[in-house]
Structure 1
Amino acid sequence: MTDPFVEFLSRRHRTVLPLKMRMITFFLVGLTVHVVFFFSIFDIYFTSPLVHGMTPQHTPLTPPASRLVLFVGDGLRADSLFTLLQNGSSRAPYLRSVIEEKGTWGVSHTHVPTESRPGHVALIAGFYEDVSAVAKGWKENPVEFDSVFNESRHTWCWGSPDILPMFAKGASGDHVYTHTYPAEEEDFASTDASRLDSWVFTQVKSFFQSAKSNSSLRASLLEDKNVLFLHLLGIDTNGHAHRPMSQEYMDNIALVDTGVAELVSVVEDFFGHDGRTAYVFTSDHGMTNWGSHGAGHPSETLTPLVAWGAGVQKAHRVTEPQPYDDGYLQDWKLEHLRRVDVNQGVLPLLYLNNTDQFKAESLYTNAIQILEQFKMKMIQKKETTLSFLFTPYQLLTEAKQAEFTHKARILIQLEKYEDAISLCQSLISHALEGLVYYHTYDRFFLGCSVVLGFAGWTSYVVLIILKTHASLNRHPSLLKQIPSHTLERLCVCAAVVITVFLLIQRSPVTYYIYCLLPVPVWYSVLKDTCAGLLTLFTSACYLWSSRRRAPLHLSDRQQFVMQMLHVTVCAFVPYLTHSSLQQKQGLPLLNQIISWTTLASSMVVPLLSSTRIFHRLLSIFLSLTATYLLLSTGSEALFPPVLSWLMFVWINIEQEAMLAQGVSGRQELSTIDFSANIDITKIRQLKLDDIRRSYFFVFFIITAFFGTGNIASINSFDPASVYCFLTVFNPFIMGGLMMWKVIIPFIIVMCSFETIQVATQLSSRSLFLIVLVISDLMALHFFFLVQDYGSWLDIGTSISHYVIVMSMTIFLMLLSVVTHIFTSKRLLLWRKPKMHFP
């Protein structure tokens, strides 16, 4: 009896158009479904927790300071500032004298992600960075937020164009004035990055000098509620370029210390030593020994904090042991001075030099601010939830809110300030927990909708595999569908009920997509469920029974020689580049030209080679390896050559497996041509061996992705990786280059998989369906592991796990088209002239 699949292929001249239409439809539907599933995690996990519309709160007592001068040494580690030199002196003598004589000091425990933007948001706006900023730009604000600058009368800022604009843009009115240097100055190859800090100090001094003769500016400066912010980026830039243990980094700290001392003198002279200026010196994050930051290592999260001036406690000497067992006090020789550690965004009461009443009133105001946010979040959720489905946060119901605030107010009136402070701290803790509760209120509901859609889609793909490859045509009686009128009515009713439910709750548009998408998917599944179940056993039998136990051309040689020479050159370019940078001679122009030329030609050069499998693969691997070398800083440069060798081994193993099974038509790799049209009558059906091939493809894709780094690692990547291309800080170009570095191993595996399909005479659509099922099952697993807390490395890793398996159908479907062109097409730069004979 003739195999039905072969019969189907033999009639392709009558069914080519319908078949193509069905494949295109399946492709578009599958792409749409997975795009929806992919973006669902951003609606479920990464939405802004901030709320607006609260009533501003103010402490009724007079503040102790009229102005604040805020110094932020970007990228400064706590140990780098506090540790003494070998001779017992300090590299920051002025700040050391402040700690020992007239200020309060401690360690600021920064919150992950330890990056400049979230660190400054926590310092100046008082909340941890909005997680929705993961998918947003660096300079633009994903949401509007309030800040100390916005609540000031005037704020003057000097520093980096990457940090200052985000606070100026969100400010109401025009009272935040920014002064930034050109972005081109942030050059990791700079001979002296400390000039960025010198520029800031010079500009501030000129500012006060001009204020002496500018009456309107002087009048503004003499008002209260003013802020002066100095963002000092030189330390961070030197740390990235030369590492935190370098002399450049240490010298930059000394320069900053000198600049702070001089500027304090200028400020005090200008205001006549009125004692109404408060000073704060701190950092947004630290830095690892290898010059990166973003994760939660102590070297990244422990930053210095020194405060002095109006309203700040003076140095407090202690004789008893302090409640810190990390060993830093002894190393820093500061065990005799009280250390006060703080968390970013939390009011540090021990730093305040004021009455207990002022402290209690300040903390009470802080608690009411957070409680107002909680109330607004609760009201928003209550208005968009049916009353019988709404479950309030039990630890802070409306009655308990009133009880907390009333009791705290009474305690302050009775002058029981310590009890009032303790009660306010408890209220703050409950309110913050309640904010998280209402922010994640819909997470379970949306998660169930996405899981239902995942399960339906995976079931649908499994049914397609069974119908296509399980000889269902031999049992036509099994394919008779049950009457679908009842099923259609049920699905329509379900869609109507879901729509009405979402309308009543005034849900966002995306909720309709997540909740309604499973309906048509499960309708398609249920239509054929009977036939699928009846033939399931007939099919782990059909697949089992299908198992059977049983040199370069001269025209290409010059190109391959040139490519290998090119790879050799690219191996030396990073070494020469880094040597030049270490000698502070900048990025050599020739190296930069070679790098960009290699990048631009990496996708073109292979198209000039023969389309024979071995020839084309070798050309592709050499071209991509050359680019990867330029983006490498160490041993990861060996990854593409080893991966390419492994791909050749895999291809040969599959060839040998076909030979062992006695498959007819097996060809040597050197004789198979990518561009040759495969005889469609020789395309075979799926076998159990094809499940192995699909599984190994998924395995190698994951290996390629996590071999030397992934999307998450780009967050804390070493800037040295892109020094062959540019050294001036540009997050988008640098991020794009790192993304290409991540994609290169993908292309190597995809080209090898294309070879497997051609060499084993298997339909790419058939293998794709198996990969689809495997990736969707993995995606469903990783969907539950996505997290929206922790460092950006942790968040990015959880996202990347989900992204990579979703990319099996989104990114890889698109990349497979590119790979097919990359392997089968050839560019002819010249053609031989045709001979004409009379």
Structure 2
Amino acid sequence: MGIPVFILAGLLVHFVFLASIFDIYFSSPLVHGMTPQQTPLPPPAKRLVLFVADGLRADSLFELNSNNTPQAPYLRAILENNGSWGISHTRVPTESRPGHVALIAGFYEDVSAVAKGWKENPVEFDSVFNESKYTWSWGSPDILPMFAKGATGDHVYTFCYTAESEDFGAQDATKLDTWVFDHVKSFFNSSRSNQTLFSALNEEKVVLFLHLLGIDTNGHAHRPYSKEYKENIRKVDEGVKEIVSMLESFYGNDGKTAYILTSDHGMTDWGSHGAGHPSETLTPLIAWGAGVNYPQKVTSQLFEDNFLKEWKLENLKRMDVNQADIAPLMASLIGVPFPLNSVGTLPLEYLNNSNHFKAESMFTNALQVLEQFKVTKHMVKKKNMSLKKIIAVPLSDSEQINFLKKARVYIQQQKYNEAVSLCKTLINLALEGLSYYHTYDRLFLGLSIALSFVGWTTYVILVIIKTHTNLIKATRNNNKHLLCCCPSICLSFFLLIQTSPWTYYVYCLLPVPIWYAVVRELRVIQDPAANLWSFPIGQSLGFLLICILGIELLVFSFFYRSTLTVGLLVFAGWPVITQLWIQAKRTTLIWTLLCVLLAVFPLMPVVGREPNIPLVVAAGLTTLLISCFSLASFSRSKNKYQSKEDLKVYFYQMFSIALSTYVVSSTHNSLKNKQGLPVFNQIISWTTLASSSALPLLSPTLLFQRLFSILLSLMATYLLLSTGYEALFPLVLSGLMLVWIQMEQEALQHYGLSLKPKVTAPDSYISLNYQKHLLFPLGVFFIVTAFFGTGNIASVNSFDPASVYCFLTVFSPFIMGGLLLLKVVIPFLLVSCAFEAVQVTTQLSSKSLFLIVLVISDIMALHFFFLVKDYGSWLDIGTRYSIFCLCCSPEKLWMLHPWRCSRPDWMIISHYVLVMSLTIFMMLMNGLAQLLTTKRLELSRRTKHHST
């Protein structure tokens, strides 16, 4: 197979591997075609008012101030005298979009839907708003439109402020909530002179939705324990009081309005959300008004947490729910059909109604969930009609009929408690069946992809043996196409009668050509196997053991970043092991020191730290100091700068570092004083970002001078994206990379290989061990260290907007996410440039490097393929098994996955995607590194030449 064909085949195979994870683990659970289910009895409320205080933590609302006064006096009085309260347990990811979908539609949105759009409605789903007669909503343009665009007909109306209003650097984000309250009042005042609107507002089944984003914005900008966050809660409390008073007056105190206040997610102490810490998953729920229970006095309550005592609410019954349970509660209160895709269970304790109404409502809930189960089961059976029998799961057709008949009889006999209990059992069984049928094809498809993984990795290893060693001689391939055609035809026929989607053909047929290619290279295996005893067994087994151990450690580092610390400390002793320290004591001493310094960073927190701008300033000043010494060193060296233009580029880069340092300090001081982002600082930041990729191309191509120029350009941008200790990371990492290059050159001299042309395959197994046994593990290890050293995808999830304040403060998820990803990529690019320099210096084969990295990344990806789960937080994507799993929400929260795992060990998609993308990303980074390290723009010189 030629190189172009091999690269094309590799890209196609890895694209299939990457795409398969979405079909296997992250297909949408939504089904359509269900019959709406509605409680037959008249509802207690004509209208519902839903307040969602975005980013409001449960403890922030319920806890008392230092003087024992409530943070929200009106809401505190409501839960003590007029309504019911509890904790709403959210599911990860604790983000605004999935949180609102769970609240209003009653189901937990899958990852693929979240990835398709933020402000749009990428998947069709039913909601309480859609089932209402009319819904009016006020608030953020990020949330409201998706429910309006997903509704049938024209009965969901939205009133949004502009996206520019969501400014983290604004003086007071409380204005977002004040805007909502003011516009609701104005809306109702104007309805008195608009008969059509007035009549619509007095209809039944009306929903009013107030989305209050100020608390979330202030939490991101100032942290949840700040006075701004607490003052915002007080403002919301006052606003809710005014709205309730206004509505009661408007409707003449008819007692037909139900109120619910809750939150989509909480927030960590450092102002982020997305993961599974209790501060993020525990949100408040207060309900009052028509159809809602009054406070229930109790003598004692048992909960795992100690919040009740802290909040002084131990004598008021706390009724916890899952976030998706709120949707059926709202539907029951105003008498609309339960959302078709809801997986919530109606919390009866919140209802103040007859036992008959509760039993009928729970029966309706069971019918609604059962409808989803029946439709899903029918779809799976239709797709698998060739199978004689589907593996039995609870809830056969006869069992469904028996459950429903028995529950109806209980209701007719007024045995309401028995009917409720039976309906809850039916709901749990239906949810378990939903999960089973949704994942029915997962094992079959997973085995197909795993077989392709093993085959492809085997083939690449054979290519390495064949093209980069002298272990075999050229052989003639026997093309036995029948070996490939027969399995393909059989599999295609099987998939055809299964009426499988076209992607299934790709996943299931892919192993056939891959293993066919492996079989064609059998001689590659046979020849070395025949001469196996001629190899040094001890060295071969030792090398194999080191490779396996190294790959497992790299996999382990994805879960525990501290593994990188251990690896760096081991590499710190490399000069001693290779005895290189004897010939280059100064270089090895610097290497050891930098390894130890770099080993500190993986021990530092990725998230949860307070901004430390003085550290960023110190990093900038240190970079300037090193630049001065480097400039002096370059001037004393044999290879001096050749023109004044070279010096101008270097000085301009130093000026950019100084300017970036000033901009970071100035911006954060301005925001601290609530003066907003200075326009000058914003212009400088974007200009620095735009110029950082071009400036290195104007510098000399001499190795160390070009690498240092790359560092300065990227460091200027990195400083602007830093908020603390991480600003020092690229500086230490680059220093280690430069020393690595120097040590490689000295090591080559030690082994007598400094001027040897490209190594293609040794007759000397030992002479190659230095180059490949150490260079490639070092390179891959440094790539992983660059990614996980201080920040990774978890940093994007944690979403501390302070990192992008120098560029923008107005909420823009894609721009902010892109800047945070750039922050992750910069250390990666620095390592890639160093790796390219080592490759050029040592004249190693770039193809062999690529193939070895390909094998390592595929073996790691196969690990993660079997660890992927379709639930979890974005934080767990980027770091490790969550340290928060011991204190996350109750086990019942995971009812959709009751038989998968006894505890929520979250390992989600991104580890797999990261490693799977490593090959493509390495190719891109390698190309960019080649451009940055070898190319040079000569525009100024050419202009000068022509003028003369």
TM-score (norm 2): 0.81
CA contact (8 A) 2:259 2:288 kept: yes
Larger mean Cα displacement after TM superposition, 399-408 or 551-560? 551-560
- 1:217 aligned to 197, 209, 212, which one? 197
Partner of 1:723: 805
Residue 405 of structure 1 pairs with residue 404 of structure 2: yes
Cα deviation per residue 1:90-149 (whole Å; 9 max; x = unaligned)? 231111111111111111111211111111111111111223224221112231110000
Letter in 2 for 1:339: R
Partner of 2:228: 248
- Compute the displacement of 1:699 (Å): 0.9
Partner of 2:370: 371
Residue 428 of structure 1 pairs with residue 408 of structure 2: no
Question: Structure 2 CA distance, aligned partners of 1:541 and 1:53?
Answer: 68
Give 1:180-329 correspondences, 5 Å limit.
Answer: 180-318=160-298, 320-329=299-308
Which sections of structure 2, spanning at least 5 residues, go unmatched? 326-345, 544-577, 581-632, 635-639, 763-767, 880-907
Cα deviation per residue 1:511-533 (whole Å; 9 max; x = unaligned)? 11111122111111101113332
Partner of 1:36: 16
Partner of 1:8: none
Letter in 1 for 2:844: L
Give 1:115-194 correspondences, 5 Å limit.
Answer: 115-194=95-174
Question: Structure 1 CA distance, aligned partners of 2:946 and 2:712?
Answer: 36
Question: Structure 1 CA distance, aligned partners of 2:533 and 2:721?
Answer: 46
Residue 554 of structure 1 pairs with residue 641 of structure 2: yes
Letter in 2 for 1:22: G
What SS is found at the alignment partner of 1:173? coil
- Compute the displacement of 1:302 (Å): 1.2
CA contact (8 A) 2:386 2:498 kept: no
Partner of 1:761: 843
CA contact (8 A) 1:67 1:277 kept: yes
What SS is found at the alignment partner of 1:287? coil
Larger mean Cα displacement after TM superposition, 649-658 or 500-509? 649-658
- Compute the displacement of 1:255 (Å): 0.9
Partner of 2:73: 93
Question: Structure 2 CA distance, aligned partners of 1:431 and 1:820?
Answer: 57
Q: 1:530 to 1:134 in 2, by over 3 A?
A: farther
Question: Structure 1 CA distance, aligned partners of 2:690 and 2:133?
Answer: 52
Give 1:606-625 correspondences, 5 Å limit.
Answer: 606-625=696-715
Residue 817 of structure 1 pairs with residue 927 of structure 2: yes
Question: Structure 2 CA distance, aligned partners of 1:803 and 1:371?
Answer: 35
Q: 1:107 to 1:758 in 2, by over 3 A?
A: same
Residue 702 of structure 1 pairs with residue 784 of structure 2: yes
- 1:626 aligned to 705, 713, 716, which one? 716
Question: Structure 1 CA distance, aligned partners of 2:529 and 2:687?
Answer: 55
What SS is found at the alignment partner of 2:158? strand
What SS is found at the alignment partner of 1:807? helix
Q: 1:682 to 1:402 in 2, by over 3 A?
A: closer
Partner of 1:446: 445
Identity %: 62
What SS is found at the alignment partner of 2:60? helix
CA contact (8 A) 1:789 1:795 kept: no
Partner of 1:18: none
Q: 1:831 to 1:83 in 2, by over 3 A?
A: same
Partner of 1:3: none
Letter in 2 for 1:301: T
Letter in 1 for 2:300: P
Partner of 2:693: 603
Give 1:662-681 correspondences, 5 Å limit.
Answer: 662-665=752-755
CA contact (8 A) 2:465 2:524 kept: no
Partner of 2:329: none
Partner of 2:312: 333
Q: 1:587 to 1:835 in 2, by over 3 A?
A: closer
What SS is found at the alignment partner of 2:41? coil
CA contact (8 A) 1:393 1:434 kept: no
Question: Structure 2 CA distance, aligned partners of 1:76 and 1:172?
Answer: 31
What SS is found at the alignment partner of 2:159? strand
What SS is found at the alignment partner of 2:51? strand
CA contact (8 A) 2:167 2:811 kept: yes
Letter in 2 for 1:440: T
Partner of 1:799: 909
Question: Structure 2 CA distance, aligned partners of 1:564 and 1:631?
Answer: 18
What SS is found at the alignment partner of 1:197? helix
What SS is found at the alignment partner of 1:388? coil
Cα deviation per residue 1:713-760 (whole Å; 9 max; x = unaligned)? 312221110000000001111111111111111111111111111111
Letter in 1 for 2:761: Q
CA contact (8 A) 2:641 2:700 kept: no
CA contact (8 A) 1:470 1:542 kept: no
Question: Structure 1 CA distance, aligned partners of 2:651 and 2:878?
Answer: 41
Larger mean Cα displacement after TM superposition, 460-469 or 549-558? 549-558
Residue 488 of structure 1 pairs with residue 489 of structure 2: no
Residue 500 of structure 1 pairs with residue 610 of structure 2: no
Partner of 2:527: 534
Larger mean Cα displacement after TM superposition, 547-556 or 699-708? 547-556
CA contact (8 A) 1:114 1:285 kept: yes
Partner of 2:596: none
- 2:516 aligned to 523, 533, 538, which one? 523
Question: Structure 1 CA distance, aligned partners of 2:674 and 2:758?
Answer: 63
CA contact (8 A) 1:288 1:300 kept: yes
What SS is found at the alignment partner of 1:323? coil
- Compute the displacement of 1:171 (Å): 0.4
- 2:761 aligned to 685, 688, 698, which one? 685
Letter in 2 for 1:816: N
- Compute the displacement of 1:173 (Å): 0.3
- 1:827 aligned to 909, 926, 937, which one? 937
Question: Structure 2 CA distance, aligned partners of 1:646 and 1:249?
Answer: 43
Cα deviation per residue 1:390-430 (whole Å; 9 max; x = unaligned)? 42442111122122111111111111111111111111111
Question: Structure 1 CA distance, aligned partners of 2:681 and 2:277?
Answer: 35
What SS is found at the alignment partner of 1:178? strand
CA contact (8 A) 2:792 2:878 kept: no
Letter in 2 for 1:821: L
Residue 568 of structure 1 pairs with residue 654 of structure 2: no
CA contact (8 A) 2:450 2:862 kept: yes
What SS is found at the alignment partner of 1:554? coil
Letter in 1 for 2:476: K
Q: 1:171 to 1:127 in 2, by over 3 A?
A: same
Question: Structure 1 CA distance, aligned partners of 2:533 and 2:103?
Answer: 60
Cα deviation per residue 1:594-648 (whole Å; 9 max; x = unaligned)? 1111110111000011111111111111111111111111111111111101111
Partner of 1:11: none
What SS is found at the alignment partner of 2:821? helix
Partner of 1:6: none
Q: 1:313 to 1:834 in 2, by over 3 A?
A: closer
Letter in 2 for 1:517: L
Partner of 1:750: 832
Question: Structure 1 CA distance, aligned partners of 2:200 and 2:758?
Answer: 85
- Compute the displacement of 1:561 (Å): 3.6
- Compute the displacement of 1:682 (Å): 5.0
Letter in 2 for 1:404: F
Letter in 1 for 2:935: K
Residue 469 of structure 1 pairs with residue 468 of structure 2: yes
Residue 638 of structure 1 pairs with residue 706 of structure 2: no
Question: Structure 1 CA distance, aligned partners of 2:723 and 2:673?
Answer: 17
Residue 509 of structure 1 pairs with residue 502 of structure 2: yes
Partner of 1:75: 55
Question: Structure 2 CA distance, aligned partners of 1:439 and 1:640?
Answer: 45
Letter in 2 for 1:327: N
CA contact (8 A) 2:373 2:431 kept: yes
- Compute the displacement of 1:26 (Å): 1.5
TM-score (norm 1): 0.92
CA contact (8 A) 1:68 1:228 kept: yes
Question: Structure 2 CA distance, aligned partners of 1:464 and 1:53?
Answer: 51
CA contact (8 A) 2:483 2:516 kept: no
